[in-house]
Amino acid sequence: MFKFVILLSVVACAFGAAIPEGLLPQLDGRIVGGTATTISSFPWQISLQRNGGHSCGGSVFRSNIIVTAAHCLQSVSASSLQVRAGSSYWNSGGVVFKVASFRNHEGYNAKTMVNDIAVIRLSGNLGMSSTIRTIGLASNAPANGAAASVSGWGTQSSGSSSIPTQLQFVNVKIVGQAQCASSSYSYGSQIRSTMICASAPGKDSCQGDSGGPLVSGGVLVGVVSWGYGCAASNYPGVYADVAVLRNWVNNAANSV
Ligand code: 4AZ
DSSP of 174-230? EE-HHHHHSTTSS-GGG--TTEEEEEBTTBB--TT-TT-EEEETTEEEEEEEE-SSS
CA of 230 to the centre of ligand 1 (A): 6
Q: Give the residue extent of every domain in the chain.
A: 147-243
Closest ligand 1 atom, residue 19 Cα: 2
pLDDT reported for residue 78: 98
Ligand 1 close to Cβ of residue 226 (< 6 A): yes
| Mean predicted confidence (pLDDT) in 92-98 | 98
pLDDT reported for residue 203: 98
Cα separation, 219 vs 139, whole angstroms: 9
Residues 34-77 have pLDDT tens digits of: 999 999 999 999 999 999 999 999 999 999 999 999 999 999 99
For the cut 50, the answer to whether the pLDDT of residue 2 exceeds it is: no
CB count, 10 Å around CB of 51?
9
| Mean predicted confidence (pLDDT) in 204-233 | 98
For the cut 90, the answer to whether the pLDDT of residue 243 exceeds it is: yes
Q: Which amino acid is at 29?
A: G
Q: How confident is the model at residue 8 (pLDDT cuts 50, 70, 90)?
A: very low
What residues contact residue 2 under an 8 Å CB cut-off, 6+ apart? none
| Mean predicted confidence (pLDDT) in 17-42 | 65
Cα separation, 54 vs 94, whole angstroms: 14
Ligand 1 close to Cβ of residue 237 (< 6 A): yes
Question: Residues 168, 50, 8, 210: is their CA dihedral positive or negative?
Answer: negative
- Per the model's pLDDT, the better-predicted residue between 140 and 22 turns out to be 140
Cα separation, 216 vs 146, whole angstroms: 7
Closest ligand 1 atom, residue 17 Cα: 11
Predicted TM-score (pTM) of this structure: 0.90
CA of 19 to the centre of ligand 1 (A): 8
What residues contact residue 247 under an 8 Å CB cut-off, 6+ apart? none
CB of 172 within 8 A of CB of 144? no
What residues contact residue 61 under an 8 Å CB cut-off, 6+ apart? 67, 119, 134, 135, 137, 220, 249, 253
Give the bridge partners for 82, in sequence order. 49, 98
pLDDT reported for residue 248: 98
Give the bridge partners for 89, in sequence order. 166
* H or E segment to which residue 102 belongs: strand 95-104
Cα separation, 116 vs 240, whole angstroms: 6
Ligand 1 close to Cβ of residue 156 (< 6 A): no
pLDDT reported for residue 26: 37
Ligand 1 close to Cβ of residue 207 (< 6 A): yes
CA of 165 to the centre of ligand 1 (A): 18
CB count, 10 Å around CB of 7?
14
pLDDT reported for residue 3: 31
pLDDT reported for residue 22: 40
| Mean predicted confidence (pLDDT) in 123-135 | 98
Domain 147-243 has CATH 1.10.10.10: no
Ligand 1 close to Cβ of residue 116 (< 6 A): no
Ligand 1 close to Cβ of residue 224 (< 6 A): yes
Q: How confident is the model at residue 223 (pLDDT cuts 50, 70, 90)?
A: very high
Closest ligand 1 atom, residue 71 Cα: 11
CA distance to 131, 142, 176, 208, 211, per residue, from 9 (Å): 34, 33, 29, 13, 18
CB of 117 within 8 A of CB of 61? no
For the cut 70, the answer to whether the pLDDT of residue 24 exceeds it is: no
Residues 139-194 have pLDDT tens digits of: 999 999 999 999 999 999 999 999 999 999 999 999 999 999 999 999 999 999 99
Closest ligand 1 atom, residue 238 Cα: 10
pLDDT reported for residue 14: 46
Of the listed ranges 23-32, 72-81, 178-187, 192-201, the one predicted with least confidence: 23-32
| φ/ψ of residue 134, rounded to 5 | -80, 160
3-state secondary structure of 39: helix
